[in-house]
Amino acid sequence: MVTIRNETSADVRARNALLDLAYGPVRFKKPSEKLRRGRLPADGLSLVACDGGRIVGTVRLWNVDAGGGRPALLLGPLAVHPDWRNRGVGGELMRRALRNARLTGHRAVLLVGDADYYGRFGFTADKSGALVLPGLHERHRLLGLELASGALDGARGLIAASGRPARAARPAASGVSFHRAARAA
């Protein structure tokens, strides 16, 4: 039985392995991944699907600026282990992620994906056409969903990361992280 829960720090290694399986190394070259690089996901908006103790699905949402200071979330990546595809895992992850985003007061979600799949969750290109995601050549794949009516009205300009930067631990000469060594000094 698959259950969906909030991601924990203990899930990161298995989540990354799932993303490697689902997307391969090309995932690091995607425009949306470049936007997320060096940032933390939005608070409380990272989910995993588990079958027993095994992670079989994942989705995260990230804080972005949708042009001109307009706050939004960027959804992705959504991934489901090949053995659990076509069982509703991805759909349930999407529904739960969007519900949680709405409940936490977010007004709009963007993603890069196929309209045929994401349209069933309400995503369209209707209000995302004047937004620019650097490196995205297939602009029709930039989709938006308003969680609050009018949240993407007039959205235009560059999509930029706005979430908290991830703290990068720099190794010290002793192999102890820079932050730990600084606190110890």
Q: Is the pLDDT of residue 11 over 90?
A: yes
pLDDT at 64: 97
pLDDT at 24: 92
pLDDT tens sequence across 100-154: 999 999 999 999 999 999 999 999 999 999 999 999 999 999 999 999 999 999 9
pLDDT at 49: 98
Assigned token pair, 125: 């290109």
Better-scored residue on pLDDT, 173 or 83: 83
- Max CA separation in the chain (angstroms): 56
Q: Which residues 6+ apart lie within 8 Å of 94 measured at CB?
A: 59, 75, 78, 118, 121
- Alpha-carbon distance 92 to 96, whole Å? 6
Q: Work out the pLDDT band at 58, boundaries 50, 70, 90.
A: very high
Domains of the chain: residue spans and CATH: 2-184 (3.40.630.30)
Residue type, 69: G
Q: Work out the pLDDT band at 168, boundaries 50, 70, 90.
A: low
Phi and psi (nearest 5°) for 169?
Answer: -80, 125
Determine the average pLDDT of the residues in 27-54.
Answer: 95
Q: Is the pLDDT of residue 55 over 50?
A: yes
Residue type, 68: G
How many other C-beta atoms can be found within 10 angstroms of the C-beta atom of residue 95? 13
pLDDT at 171: 45
Q: Is the pLDDT of residue 177 over 70?
A: no
pLDDT tens sequence across 123-137: 999 999 999 999 999
Determine the average pLDDT of the residues in 6-19.
Answer: 96
Cis bond before residue 77 (omega within 30° of 0):
yes
Q: How far apart are the first and last CA of the chain?
A: 49
pLDDT at 167: 81
Q: Is the pLDDT of residue 176 over 50?
A: no
